[in-house]
Amino acid sequence: MKWVKKILISVLVLFLAAILLDLGLDYWVSVRLPKLINDQNNSPYSITYKNLDISLLKNTILAENIMLCPKAALNDTVIKKGIYAKIGVVDIKGVKIWDLVFRSKIKAENITITKPEVILYKQNENAINNPKSIRSDVVAPFGKIIVVPDIYLNRGDIKIINIKNDKIILNVANISVKLKNVAITDKLLEHKIPFAYQNYTFRCDSLYYRPNAFYHIKSGQIETSDTGLLLEKFTMTPQYNRADFVKRMPKERDIYTLNASTIRFEKMRWGFDKEEQFFFHAGAILINRANANIYRPKMPPDDLRKKPLYNKLLREMPFDLAIDTLKIQNSVLEYEEEKTSERGPGLISFNHFNLNARHLNSGFQKKKLPDVAIAIRCRFMNISPMKVNWSLNVLDKTDGFRIKGNIRKLPADRLAPFIKPYINVTAKGMLDIVYFDFTGNDKTSGGHFGIDYDDLKFTVYREKKPEKKNKLLTAIARIFVKKDTDEKIKDTEVAVERIPEKSFYNLFWRSIEEGLKKILI
């Protein structure tokens, strides 16, 4: 029985030694960890906490009421540049004790961060000055303290604030994030995305973002993963009213007001390839119930730079873009153009707007591409069925295109919101059909234009008193404008030279205008 007693005594000694070792390590870590976090913290950030619970038996570290701020701010309380954070709870599981003992680094299986409130104070309006600042100011410093493959963030808030004017640049509320199999190495820190991961999910309740001094973007709930993205209640709104916006314009430009009920990206892939070139691919982008208003004030000086057509814009994109299908559904598109503030803007609207575009690609590092094919179905001026089919090839260096379509049963008086402010004229009658089939390129546009109309009459108004009729010009217009087409479609050929300083839509409109002149007069 002596050997049994010896075994029992040995086991007891080993057990007591393990307990003492665990207690010793527990005590050592409880002393060592605060020093690592505070005194031996090589990052530019100071970290403090109220409660720290360490259990080496469970391999867990639990910290509560954590405060983080730049070390520089401890000596300079006036300038707040950098990251400031309050964190409710940090729960670290699967702690590797020997990495903590011998490498002065917390290495674990996962970390859960609950209720972080993070504020980044910046000295300018840019949310991110340079992608390199993310890895140098955010990722690299914390990689010196803790290494975990799985990161979970719950109920977080993030703000970016401009120190100079105290304006919010970015505000994201109630964030939840899951990052799986995260890796940070010295080599990865040199990449544009300074860490690797297997997959991710991100969710937030709302977003506010100022991309520049002229617009702000808002969104309701956002959900995204490595394969898809959903935005709800998206808006992009000018920062100023139209009059103030125009005063700030050195040159003529469009002002956009956009909103959409939902924007969904499906089968999405993005990132950087082996050559560090950015790419974005999606099987489909679906935009539902959008309302887009484009306002063009003609009062500022003309922008005389050449305007590239869409072929060239896509061809010269500096990254790999590939979208199989873009769909815009149940939407409204409005275009307003204002020559003088006295008359107000002219308005063209496309209601019940549905667009289906295929094969949207950039020309980046590509030698062959299918044609971009765009099909539009809508109600022109919210009354007349309109169909448009438009095609172009991104790699065609002549910027060739073809656009054809028709509008049916358009009462001429429905054009008043555009032509009355724009050319001081109203019309009555019925346009039974208007059709067009134009081909063009960077130099010209031409093709067929046809119209069938009945009992068309124009009324011209006074230049300085646009509310009163100009009886003389009205009489002349009714003499020279042909009243109808005798229930036949009148067809003509048009040819128009492109004005390089104007957009594709100017070329398209001038082609329509040329056809109208030939048939009506």
d(CA 500, CA 513): 18
Q: CB of 520 within 8 A of CB of 478?
A: no
d(CA 103, CA 477): 90
Angle, CA of 217, 68 and 119, to the nearest 5°: 15
Token pair 């120190």 in the structure block, residue: 163
Looking at the chain, the number of H-run helices and the number of E-run strands are 10, 25
Q: Tell me, what's the pLDDT at 165? A: 82
Mapped onto helix, strand or coil, the DSSP state of residue 153 is strand
- DSSP letter for 358, please: E
- Tens digit of each residue's pLDDT (9 = 90 or more) over 250-266: 999 999 999 999 999 99
Q: In the chain, where are the structural domains located?
A: 12-210
Residues 167-190 have a mean pLDDT of 75
Q: Tell me, what's the pLDDT at 23? A: 44
Q: Tell me, what's the pLDDT at 63? A: 85
d(CA 396, CA 407): 29
d(CA 461, CA 479): 16
HEC readout, 156-180: EEEEEEECCCCCEEEEEEEEEEEEE
- The strand pair at 215-219 and 206-209 is best described as antiparallel
Which region among 91-95, 117-121, 508-512 has the lowest average model confidence (pLDDT)?
Answer: 91-95
Residues 79-98 have a mean pLDDT of 82
d(CA 32, CA 286): 53
- Tens digit of each residue's pLDDT (9 = 90 or more) over 324-342: 999 999 999 999 988 876 6
Instruction: Find the helix or strand (DSSP H, E) in which 452 lies.
Output: strand 444-460
Q: Tell me, what's the pLDDT at 98? A: 56
Q: Tell me, what's the pLDDT at 502? A: 92
Other Cβ atoms closer than 10 A to 302: 10
Mapped onto helix, strand or coil, the DSSP state of residue 444 is strand
Q: Is the pLDDT of residue 426 over 90?
A: no
- Tens digit of each residue's pLDDT (9 = 90 or more) over 369-387: 999 999 999 999 999 999 9
Q: Is the pLDDT of residue 144 over 60?
A: no
pTM (2 d.p.): 0.86
Confidence band for 4, pLDDT divided at 50, 70 and 90: very low
d(CA 58, CA 41): 25
- Tens digit of each residue's pLDDT (9 = 90 or more) over 275-286: 878 899 999 999
Q: Is the pLDDT of residue 186 over 90?
A: no
Other Cβ atoms closer than 10 A to 330: 13
Q: Tell me, what's the pLDDT at 95? A: 76
Q: Is the pLDDT of residue 490 over 50?
A: yes
Q: CB of 411 within 8 A of CB of 441?
A: no
